[in-house]
Structure 1
Amino acid sequence: MARRTIEAHELSLEDILESVETGSAVLPAFQRDFKWSNADAISLIATVLCGWPAGSLLLMNGAPDFFEIRAFEDGPPIDNDIQYVILDGQQRLTSLYRAFRGHERTEFVLSVTALLNSSGKAEDIEDAITVHDRDKWLLEYPPARQAEELLVPLSSLRTASDYFGWRDETIAAAAASERENVRQRLAEVYRVFLSRANSYTLPSVVIDRSLPPAAVARIFERINRTGLRLGAFDLLVARSYTNDWNLRDHWETLRTESEPIGTWLKRDGLPVLQVIALTRKKDVRQPALLDLEPEEISGNWEPAAAAVEHAVAVLRKLGVPGPDLMPYRGLLFPIAYRFMKFPDMNVEAVARELSDWFWGRSFGMGYDVGSSTRIAADARILSARSPGWDAADFAISERNLIAATRKKQSAIWSAFLTYLHANGARDLLTGAELDPNSSDVVAVSMLPKLSESDYHLRVLGLVWANRHTASKLRADPIDVIQRASRRSLESQLLPIDVDSIYRGPDTLLMARARALKQSLANNGHESLNWFA
């Protein structure tokens, strides 16, 4: 019988915490640090003591061979016999481990009196739990005081027998006249609430360690919908991890110290790795990423990071105001690839060289279908010191431009607004040059909302404007255009002949498409191939 690679189980919380305590349940070395607060932990404890679901776990059985592992924070060293690697559930299990197995710095303590005198809701359980400094707890709360104030350290709930052993010790330390009351109260709180900690189970998906990295990433992505997903970047952090080189640390340093990287990639380090994959594997898709060897990642990290920085500089030279107005995210990769091949190339020279390619791919919707294949093909062309382009590659449909809306042709939407910015768009009323990165600048439609039409959504109806002008455009676009200077109209590719605007949206859209075509030609992009 074939071995099952994915199984579902109900695992006992006691057994899982026992595995953590013995070092046989561990974490991936790339896993993010423990972040939960005491308040988060108390809320989870209350969920457990209510017997309510606390989400499922995703585990791998046994030690993997494609990423490193580490112990739980505040847990024991790793055991030689690994039972589980916790792929999803670190924050919850660390919190419960600290509460029910004891923590070197804190002790979670429940007030029996407060809880039994309440309605027993989850909020009441939370209110009944306090967190103490462990050294202070051990010094100031001996068994006699615990009995007097009816306080239960949750670490006594390691198992049912541990709890009753603690209970008997506490009863023995109580005043003789109070022992029966202490016995009854501690028995009652365990029966009604605390016993749930010793019988609690967690639904768990256990995957076999023989599964390939791509399958692990896909399973995690599909199962984990509430937390941070384990994707290709996380697995590559694991795959390349050594005591001397940690991809996550290098990424965090890069994004905080490099303005281009931090601004354009934000918190996503995958594009740098995709540049490496494009260079080494001629592909940017996940299988190629997960096929990278550790030394390929560490050895190419700095050149790839520099190449991405240069690529961002090229995009800015082309007029792209920021990542949100990139017609296609994938356009970054062939540019970065060129700098990987020729790191000595000048940014301005590359921007001039790739200008036709950028506008042709953007307005021609070149990456709408088969983008990964197109990226690889473009990278091959750019591997030559003097790349040659086929004019047919830069085919732009006038019909698509005129009919384009943001929802249906988002690349054209981004490309047009980027081109207006590159063309030095000026405010129609003030004549001031506009910066799309300013909070006062917006893209606004000049076209009316006509019944049963989408004219007001058409991309070629958009202009850049400050918020004051935008409000006037929405109210009376004809009045604003009549008051605009020739220079402002030309910067926004608007016709100087305002009569054409009076003749309706179709006339304006066609005039704008012609103006865009002429402007691109005037700026040296004569190789772009236009068709109706």
Structure 2
Amino acid sequence: MKDAQKPDHIGLNALVTRLKEGRFVIPDFQREFEWKPWDIGDLMRSIFLDYYIGSLLLWKGKKENFDALSCEHVYGYDGGDSNREHIVLDGQQRLTAMHYAFIAPDEKLPGRKKRYLYFIRVDRFMEAGDEDAFVYDWTKYGPKLLANPQSQYEQHMFPLAIVGKGGWALPDWFREYEAYWLARRDAAKADGDDEAAAKASRHVEDAKGFGAQVKDVTEQYQIAYIELDRDLEVEKVCDIFTQINSRGVKLDIFDLMNALLKPKGLQLKSLWRKAKPRLSFVESDKLNVYILQVMSILRQTYCSPKYLYYLLPGQAKPIRDASGKITQEVLIADEAEFSFRWKSAVDAMDSSIAMLRHPHEFGVTSSQYLPYVSILPAFSALQAHVASLPAIRRLDAQRKVRDWYWASVFTSRYSGSVESTAARDFQDVRRWIDDANDEPALIADFKHQFRNLELRKETRRGSSIYNGIFNLLVLQGARDWMKGTVPVAGDLDDHHIVPRAWAKKQVGSLGDSILNRTPLTAETNRHVISDRLPNEYLPELVANNGEQQVRDILASHFVSDKAFDILMRNPFTPEDFEAFIAERQRTIQEAIETLLVKRRLDLPVALRELDEGIEQVELRLREAIRTGLGDDAALVPSNVADKVDERLQRALKRNAAMDADHYARLEGQLEYFDLRELQDTLINKLLWPRFEARFGTKEVLNTRFGQFAELRNAIRHSRSVDAVVRKEGEAALLWFQQVLA
């Protein structure tokens, strides 16, 4: 039997030399180098303090394996391929960090705009101030220091790049460092400066002590590694890689899928590299996993890691049927189908992100204002499902997806376990799309809970509710305070209405609440507000533009006339600030109800006013029936009562929190009457005498209901409203308003 695993150790000097020579290569299925500057610094600290940094897993390579796994050199290596020796299966981040710190290639650090250089402050290290001794620099100062040994000696900055030079570079540096401070000591003595001489003497001793310690570390520090035999099959090596990385620090599921797909000839990392630029608007290191989750949701409705495993081509998934019998089903037949479904998932996410960014759809002007990145898999899968429906069904389906999205945002639904939530939401919304009566409980929860939102506590940009309100302000068409136009989305940021400097002193963190912030351009913030109180900058706007125009512009920012008057108070006190945010909270909650709960966000502004009038008429019709029937639910016509009861029972089953006693009374039941059922109740033969005095004749009432319903349904179902329908509908609306007054 071949010696498949060979445990061993390698000294730091030898390891750095091999890194410099290009003996280590990284297989394509490994993740990119992801460590941050401070992670590299922490590794250096661990090495020089003689801490254990874990073992490496290396595979003795040969050309066919280097080629089969698309191996690349460690980041920053600029030599050829002739020295390739080991494929790194575990330890890539550590080896790359050591190469970057010790070899100091002239390359920016991945994910950063600058090159980073690493140093040890000798004086601090010898004072046992280990936490402060390890430093890194990314400014122009770093390369200048690296090129100037005299500055290094003067500032006690030992460049870790000296270790990578090898040969005599290390002992020469410490000899010259010691000589520099010997000369400084002698010069201080000659000048009679005893204090400076004593300090220089201390640095001379530090040079000797630190040099000895670095010599010990570079020559004696050992890194453990396991070497796999070069003749092991690729499939076996991938399996070992998967098992090792699934213990301890959990490996990202994308990397595990990389390892499992590699033997099947699928370059998942290559697929991700092609997809990444299309999704770059969203800043997240989980987008590659989200693509897999979209694939999984669309194929099997679930998306937790164990279900992603069944996306492997040819992998059988156990299925239990209604009788309890377990059968096997292959979800992805082959590599071609995997690639097709991957591309479809990328397309779905790309179009979904574009929809979220649109200033008239969801108003996410930049990635930092996306309420949840984790909602993307469910949202994208639902958008893909809607796109697969017959064209005539997509409008209603899209409205339901929008309702689910906003309900999720304002109930902070995606702040917990997102995989199970995404799968459940996809199933619930899909059923709702198919059956209008099967509304998810989430929608009802949102309708009942939105008024309880404590918006004053939303002070942190990035929370779902904070970002959701910012998005609503964009959708509302918040206009620029200087130009009166709707700014380009990319120019917007959230700025304080009452300046932060004043608020910080007077009301503390409350000044950062979303209630005191609104989307403005940097130019407006600089030239209009400029750290001044509203009672200073608003009068200037009024003087130059007229009061009504300024009030109208602020109204587009959910600043009501009452809030405007509060902002104009002089002096403006903390009590006035409290009154302002209380009024703005009321206005924003009203906007949430109008735009989201009542779905008026889809309507042009002119039709929103009509829809509000229609809603008031419906409420008054319910009240007229309740009064006319003396609150007696038993008098409701049986054909109407049966339909209403059916709806109510479904709603009560979905939402156990509903007040059953309230809906047992006529007042509650009337909430579930549709418009035609209100009409049928009014004109019922037995009940008509109760209403005749108010409505005149049945013929007139039926005509008005017909005209009213035409306008109402056209608005509620986003159908075009022609001139005749609108005129007749408005006449009916006016008639109902008069008779119900």
TM over 0.5: yes
* 1:216 corresponding residue in structure 2: 245
Residue 279 (structure 1) aligned with residue 351 (structure 2): no
SS of the residue aligned with 1:478? helix
1:386 counterpart = 2:452: no
Task: Give the corresponding residue for 2:524.
Answer: 469
Q: 1:300 aligns with which of 330, 333, 341?
A: 341
Q: 2 CA distance for matches of 1:480 and 1:489?
A: 13
User: Per-residue displacement from partner, 1:432-490 (whole Å, max 9, x unpaired)?
Assistant: 31334217x44324375264653312212211223343254441123444536232122
Larger relative contact order (CA 8 Å, sep ≥ 6):
1
Aligned to 1:319: 363
CA distance in 1 between partners of 2:245 and 2:508 (Å): 47
Asked if 1:485 corresponds to 2:550, the answer is yes
How has the CA–CA distance of structure 1 residues 16 and 281 changed in structure 2, closer, same or farther, with 3 Å as cutoff? farther
The secondary structure found in structure 1 opposite 2:480 is coil
SS at match of 2:495: strand
Q: Supply the AA of the counterpart residue of 2:585.
A: A
Measured at CA, do residues 128 and 399 of structure 1 come closer, stay the same or move farther in structure 2, by a change above 3 Å? closer
Matched, 1:444 2:491: no
Q: Give the corresponding residue for 2:512.
A: 457
Is the 8 Å Cα contact of residues 402 and 509 (structure 1) preserved in structure 2? Answer: no
Q: Identify the match of residue 374 of structure 2 among 330, 338, 344.
A: 330
Deviations 1:311-348 (A, max 9, x none): 21332322222321111122222221124435435797
Letter in 2 for 1:305: V
| Paired residues of 1:445 and 1:456 also in contact (CA < 8 A) | no
| Cα 1:404/1:290, change in 2 over 3 Å | farther
* 8 Å contact kept, 1:413–1:459: yes
Q: Do the aligned partners of residues 152 and 477 (structure 1) sit closer, same or farther apart at CA in structure 2, a change above 3 Å counting?
A: closer
Q: TM-score, normalised by structure 2?
A: 0.46
C-alpha separation in 2, matches of 1:325 and 1:338: 21
Change (3 A) 1:368 1:233: same
Match of 1:269 in 2: 288
The equivalent of 2:271 in structure 1 is 250
Q: Which amino acid aligns with 1:91?
A: T
Instruction: Report the CA distance shift for 1:485/1:30 in structure 2 as closer, same or farther (over 3 A).
Output: same
Equivalenced residues, count = 422
**Superposition pairs of residues 32-181 of structure 1, within 5 angstroms:** 56-60=53-57, 73=73, 74=81, 86-91=91-96
**2:468 matches 1:424:** no
Closer/same/farther in 2, CA of residues 442 and 435 from structure 1, 3 Å limit? farther
Following the alignment from structure 1 to structure 2, what is the Cα–Cα distance between the partners of residues 30 and 336?
26
Whole-angstrom distance in 2 between the partners of 1:262 and 1:204: 37
Letter in 1 for 2:281: T
Q: State the distance in 2 between where 1:285 and 1:216 align.
A: 18
CA distance in 2 between counterparts of 1:83 and 1:416 reads 47
| Equivalent-residue separation in structure 2 for 1:215 and 1:89 (angstroms) | 16
Q: Cα 1:308–1:126, aligned 2, differ >3 Å: closer, same or farther?
A: closer
Tell me the amino acid that sits aligned with residue 463 of structure 1.
T
Task: Identify the match of residue 576 of structure 2 among 504, 511, 515.
Answer: 504
SS in 2 for 1:320: coil
Is 1:231 equivalent to 2:252 in the alignment?
yes
2:430 is the alignment partner of 1:375? no
Tell me whether 314-323 or 262-271 shows the greater mean CA deviation.
Answer: 262-271
Residue 421 of structure 1 deviates from its aligned partner by 0.4
* 1:28/1:87 contact within 8 Å kept: no
Contact 1:53 1:202 in 2 (8 A): no
Alignment RMSD: 5.3
SS of residue in 2 equivalent to 1:437: helix
- C-alpha separation in 2, matches of 1:218 and 1:320: 38
Larger Rg: 2
CA distance in 1, matches of 2:514, 2:25: 53
2:409 aligns with one of 362, 382, 386: 362
Describe the SS at the equivalent of 1:443: strand
Give yes or no for contact 2:459–2:509 (8 Å, CA) kept in 1: no
Which is richer in helix? Answer: 2
Q: Deviations over 1:4-51 (max 9, x none)?
A: xxxx9855569989999xxx987544136899xxxxxxx99xx9xx98
Q: Which runs of 5+ in 2 are unaligned?
A: 1-6, 35-39, 61-67, 74-80, 104-148, 170-211, 229-236, 315-331, 333-337, 543-548, 570-574, 601-654, 659-741
SS, match of residue 597 in structure 2? coil
Amino acid at match of 2:559: L
What is the rounded CA distance, in whole Å, between the counterparts of 2:578 and 2:398 in structure 1? 34
Secondary structure in 1 matching 2:496:
strand
TM-superposed deviation, 1:304: 0.6
The answer to whether the 8 Å contact 1:428/1:480 transfers is no
Aligned twin of 1:170: none
Residue identity in the other structure for 1:216 = N
> Which residue is equivalent to 2:174?
none
Assess, with a 3 A threshold, how the Cα gap between structure 1 residues 15 and 84 changes in structure 2: closer, same or farther.
farther
Contact persistence 1:16–1:25 (CA under 8 A): no
Match of 2:598, SS?
coil
Distance 1:516 1:408 in 2: 17
Contact kept, 8 Å, 2:495 with 2:517, in 1: the verdict is: yes
Q: Which amino acid aligns with 1:431?
A: G
- Asked whether the equivalents of residues 473 and 557 of structure 2 are also in contact (C-alpha less than 8 Å), the reply is yes
Q: 2:487 aligns with which of 418, 434, 446?
A: 434
More moved, 313-322 vs 512-521 = 512-521
- Rounded to whole Å, the distance in 1 between the matches of 2:414 and 2:160 is 55
Q: Distance in 1 between matches of 2:454 and 2:213?
A: 69
- Residues 426, 371 of structure 1: CA spacing in aligned structure 2 closer, same or farther, 3 A cutoff? same
Distance in 2 (CA, whole Å) between partners of 1:383 and 1:469 is: 44
**TM-aligned CA distance change 1:16 to 1:339, over 3 Å:** same
Q: CA 1:343/1:244 → structure 2, altered by over 3 Å: closer, same or farther?
A: farther
> Cα–Cα, structure 1 residues 213 and 372, in superposed 2: closer, same or farther, change >3 Å?
same
